[in-house]
Amino acid sequence: MKKVSVIICAYNEEKTVKDVITSISELKIVDEIIVVNDGSTDRTQKIIEDLKKEIVIRNIHLRKNKGKGYAMAVGVEQALSDIVLFVDADLSNLNDEHFCQLINPLFNNEADMVLGQATETLINYSINPFKSFTGERALLRKDIIPIIDKMKTSRFGVETLLNLYYQSLGKIVKYVMLKGLEHPTKYDKTSSLQATKEFIYEGQEIASTVIKNYDLIAKTIKRIVNKNIKI
């Protein structure tokens, strides 16, 4: 049986990080919890330190904000399990079923990466063009070790990098709907102006990631062309 490491990357999530960590700690399927505090300036680090008195947590504290990609990569480097499950620190209503949906396809060799989308969002899951950017994803640690360094410099483009990488290798990616899971939008967490600025900034980082990793896109195209020729 493969073991599971859950990696939670948090940046100023004092309102939700405790509930997320507590919910995960109650799952028997989880072998270790790694929390990466990405230079938070609120009470996130204090909350994590307090929880460590009650729950076994491996805590990595980054003094400065390094970006989501760097935080995820550091978590992967420290993980001891075969399967790595990334979970955002601002979720609500996490339950056992959600984790089974994300993990079971890997246990059963049905997929190489599983992406979970909260159904409580503004856009219907079935037509959501952004579902591949979800922060809830499970994969085999060994599969992403080769791109750890790229992850560290990708910041908010990290999900795009992972998607491009898996496509280039012809890996099987499965999407699942996590019914009842709530994931607030930026507009729920901050002012409209600030949320819009953050969206624009993230969009730029995603575009930059695509440009920097055009070789992965070219590899995907070549693989598809070769496959069609063989057919």
pLDDT of residue 230: 67
pTM above 0.95, yes or no: no
Q: Which residue has the tokens 């949906």?
A: 101
Residue 202 is predicted with a pLDDT of 87
The CA distances from residue 107 to 34, 74, 113, 137, 190, in Å, are: 21, 24, 11, 14, 38
DSSP 67-111: -HHHHHHHHHHH--SSEEEEEETT-BS--HHHHHHHHHHHHTTS-
DSSP assignment of 128-195: -TTGGG-SEEEEEHHHHGGGHHHHHTTGGGHHHHHHHHHHHTT--EEEEEEEEEE---HHHHS-HHHH
> Which among 141, 134, 132, 130 has a CA at the least distance from the CA of 73?
141
| Domains contained in the chain, CATH given | 4-230 (3.90.550.10)
| Below-50 pLDDT ranges, the chain | 122, 125, 129
The DSSP element (H or E) to which 203 belongs, if any, is: helix 192-212
Give the span between the Cα atoms of 115 and 101, in whole angstroms.
9
pLDDT of residue 29: 87
Q: What is the pLDDT of residue 187?
A: 77
pLDDT in tens, 98-108: 999 999 999 99
Contact 212, 160 (CB under 8 A): no
Q: Give dist(CA 55, CA 185) in Å, integer.
A: 29
